[in-house]
């Protein structure tokens, strides 16, 4: 009896633990080759709450207590969606997604041209994207990496009010949480030159009898990416994407890619490639559009920015060489109640710097910078942000925290490092 009682107690304790779990961790892989699937979608089937996997397919999914009778749906474009009820999911799960069988190996045959699909997508923005106010809870992160070492990292949680698309009021944001790397590193490129120049300026200031602020002469370069301003104002109308603006259509080549699927819905892939540089940028990529309703589901773009000719002589005199910066951008959407809402905006840049020296080895540095804005909760009940709590991208983030909903970091889905 004692052994039976112990087994029953063990079963009940395991059952109770599974019913009260708050975080499920896992990895999403390709069933055919066991390769990780980066930025796979992990969401609740019946509520607009979710997360995405990181570059290695890994994720931590926080599930509110009131939603633990729901089902988790894991999806990736071109793969069959996998579903698992929360009450039978283990705390550590490994999900192997199966490639969809309806992906075509050849270029699709369609009565519409690639540009026709893009035009129809733009004509159907009102039908496919929300036209009523809504609000979201989102995670923001920016990283500055030099030679594979993190120089600085900032993270924040923002509540956003989205007005109707035709409203003159812009998106309103409130910063709920903020944190940055505890021990940010110094930028190492040209460090010796920077410190000598700083010491010289400090000596000159002292000689003039000026009041000295040590922070102004610490020889450090502020690694500020401009904050979340460039990513939080998601543009549903895509007015800033040249490949989706009518006046630039003739400057691009458009072609069909592989047809794929998402949650059983047929998705058309439109490849685009700039014929020449536009505003010092030549980009290419793909746009995924629903065949059923012409909704834009995903945009992936890459490009190289050219250094203006007038700047190159200045760099030469300074002994500097800058490789043309390489950019990547990903924008994806999530479907909720027959509308497509923004889900992810990710922007990354890579640039290589060289400082030439005559009598010593050249200095080299590879810089990677990136920003991500990930919406993981949507609420159709929306309230404008009060003026005293509005986030201002021109001010320091740490001075603008207004956590009036008392949320903590362990209650939010973020992209796992």
Q: Is the pLDDT of residue 350 over 70?
A: yes
Claim to verify: residue 120 and residue 76 sit in the same structural domain: no
Cα(33)–Cα(25) distance, rounded to whole angstroms?
21
Cα(49)–Cα(377) distance, rounded to whole angstroms?
5
Claim to verify: residue 7 and residue 145 sit in the same structural domain: no
How many other C-beta atoms can be found within 10 angstroms of the C-beta atom of residue 165?
14
Q: Is residue 108 part of a domain?
A: no
Mean pLDDT of 354-371: 85
Tens of pLDDT, residues 317-339: 667 778 778 899 999 998 888 89
Cα(137)–Cα(270) distance, rounded to whole angstroms?
31
Which token pair is 163? Answer: 């007005």
Helix (H, G, I), strand (E, B) or coil at 313: helix
Q: What is the structure's pLDDT at 220?
A: 55
Claim to verify: residue 121 and residue 8 sit in the same structural domain: no
Q: Is residue 214 part of a domain?
A: no
φ/ψ of 405, rounded to 5, equals -105, 5
Claim to verify: residue 311 and residue 267 sit in the same structural domain: yes
Claim to verify: residue 73 and residue 136 sit in the same structural domain: no
Cα(80)–Cα(262) distance, rounded to whole angstroms?
8
Q: In DSSP terms, which residues pair with 285 in a beta bridge?
A: 272, 301
Q: Is residue 205 part of a domain?
A: no
Boundary of a domain, candidates 66, 97, 128: 97
Are 278 and 306 in contact, with CB atoms under 8 Å apart? Answer: no
Cα(242)–Cα(273) distance, rounded to whole angstroms?
11
Residues 53, 54, 60, 65, Cα dihedral to 10°: -50
- Most confident stretch, 17-26, 286-295, 370-379: 286-295
- Most confident stretch, 34-43, 200-209, 347-356: 34-43
Entry pTM: 0.81
Claim to verify: residue 231 and residue 310 sit in the same structural domain: yes
- Give percent of the chain with pLDDT exceeding 90: 36
Cα(137)–Cα(75) distance, rounded to whole angstroms?
21
Q: Is residue 216 part of a domain?
A: no
Question: Which is more confident, 356 or 391?
Answer: 391
Q: 400 CB contacts (<8 Å, ≥6 apart)? A: 175, 178, 391, 392
Tens of pLDDT, residues 147-156: 888 888 999 9
Claim to verify: residue 50 and residue 150 sit in the same structural domain: no
Boundary of a domain, candidates 47, 69, 97: 97
Domain interval for residue 321: 114-187+223-407
Q: Is residue 109 part of a domain?
A: no
Claim to verify: residue 77 and residue 139 sit in the same structural domain: no
Claim to verify: residue 312 and residue 263 sit in the same structural domain: yes
Q: What is the CATH number of the domain that holds 11?
A: 2.60.40.1120
Beta-strand pair 92-97/23-30: parallel
Claim to verify: residue 307 and residue 256 sit in the same structural domain: yes
Give the chain's domain count.
2
Q: Is residue 131 part of a domain?
A: yes
Per DSSP, the residues of 142-187 read EEEEETTEEEEEEEEEEEEEE--TT-SSPPEEEEEEEEE-SSPPPP
Claim to verify: residue 35 and residue 156 sit in the same structural domain: no
Q: 341 CB contacts (<8 Å, ≥6 apart)? A: 48, 129, 130, 134, 136, 333, 334, 335, 375, 378
Q: Is residue 332 part of a domain?
A: yes
Cα(292)–Cα(335) distance, rounded to whole angstroms?
13
Q: What is the structure's pLDDT at 323?
A: 79
Boundary of a domain, candidates 65, 97, 129: 97
Q: Is residue 158 part of a domain?
A: yes
Claim to verify: residue 21 and residue 90 sit in the same structural domain: yes
Q: Residue 348: enclosing H or E segment and its boundaries? A: strand 339-355
């Amino acid at each position: 009896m004692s052994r039976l009682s112990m087994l029953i107690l063990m079963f009940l304790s395991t059952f109770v633990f599974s019913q009260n779990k708050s975080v499920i961790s896992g990895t999403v892989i390709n069933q055919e080759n066991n390769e990780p699937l980066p930025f796979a979608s992990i969401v609740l089937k019946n509520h607009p709450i979710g997360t995405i996997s990181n570059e290695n397919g890994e994720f931590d999914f926080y599930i509110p207590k009131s939603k633990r009778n729901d089902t988790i749906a894991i999806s990736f474009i071109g793969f069959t969606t996998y579903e698992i009820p929360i009450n039978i999911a283990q705390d550590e799960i490994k999900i192997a997604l199966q490639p969809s069988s309806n992906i075509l190996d050849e270029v699709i045959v369609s009565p519409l041209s690639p540009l026709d699909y893009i035009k129809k997508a733009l004509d159907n923005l009102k039908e496919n994207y929300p036209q009523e106010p809504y609000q979201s809870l989102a995670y923001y992160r920016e990283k500055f990496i030099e030679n594979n070492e993190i120089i600085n990292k900032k993270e924040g949680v923002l509540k956003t009010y989205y007005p109707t698309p035709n409203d003159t009021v812009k998106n309103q944001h409130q910063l709920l949480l903020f944190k940055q790397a505890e021990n940010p590193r110094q930028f190492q490129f040209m460090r010796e030159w920077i410190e000598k120049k700083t010491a010289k300026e400090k000596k000159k200031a002292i000689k003039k009898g000026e009041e000295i602020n040590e922070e102004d002469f610490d020889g450090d370069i502020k690694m500020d990416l401009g904050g979340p301003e460039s990513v939080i104002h998601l543009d549903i109308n895509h007015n800033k994407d040249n490949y989706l603006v009518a006046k630039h259509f003739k400057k691009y080549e458009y072609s069909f890619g592989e047809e794929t699927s998402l949650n059983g819905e047929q998705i058309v892939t439109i490849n685009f490639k700039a014929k020449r540089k536009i505003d010092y940028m030549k980009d290419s990529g793909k746009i995924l559009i629903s065949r059923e309703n012409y909704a834009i589901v995903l945009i992936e773009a890459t490009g190289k920015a050219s250094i203006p000719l007038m700047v190159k002589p200045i760099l030469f005199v300074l002994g500097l060489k800058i490789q043309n910066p390489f950019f990547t951008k990903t924008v994806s959407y999530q479907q909720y109640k027959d509308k497509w809402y923004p889900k992810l905006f990710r922007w990354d840049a890579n640039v290589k710097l060289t400082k030439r020296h005559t009598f010593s080895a050249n200095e080299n540095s590879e810089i990677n910078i990136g920003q991500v804005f990930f919406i993981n909760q949507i609420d159709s009940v929306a309230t404008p942000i009060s003026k005293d709590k509005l986030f201002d991208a021109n001010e320091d983030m740490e001075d603008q925290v207004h956590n009036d909903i008392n949320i903590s970091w362990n209650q939010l889905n973020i992209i796992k490092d």
